[in-house]
Amino acid sequence: MCDIADEAFEREEWERELALKNRKKPEPPSAVCRNGDCGEASQPGTNYCCPECREDDEKWVRANQQRKVA
């Protein structure tokens, strides 16, 4: 017979596995700067050629998320 601690442990383990399976996978680094205006080669291990391009792209993504769809 299981006690409440065993049931809680099994539930916690199940939820952790589910969360790991459903997590968003990070995008692999891009060879070309992801800022749509740029087109330069990215720095090794990143998606952007410079911090300014990264900031511009993040602002653009946030702005698109904030737009309401009619």
Per-residue pLDDT of 5-43, as tens digits, reads 999 999 999 999 999 999 988 777 778 888 877 878 888
| β-strand partners of 41 | 32
> Is it the case that residue 1 has pLDDT exceeding 80?
no
CB atoms within 10 A of CB 29: 13
* pLDDT given for residue 4 in this prediction: 92
CA distances from 43 to 6, 26, 36, 50 (A): 49, 17, 16, 7
The pLDDT score that the predictor gives to residue 26 is 77
Between 49 and 28, where is the model more confident? 49
> Is pTM, for the whole model, over 0.75?
no
Give the domain ranges of the chain. Answer: 4-66
d(CA 39, CA 60): 16
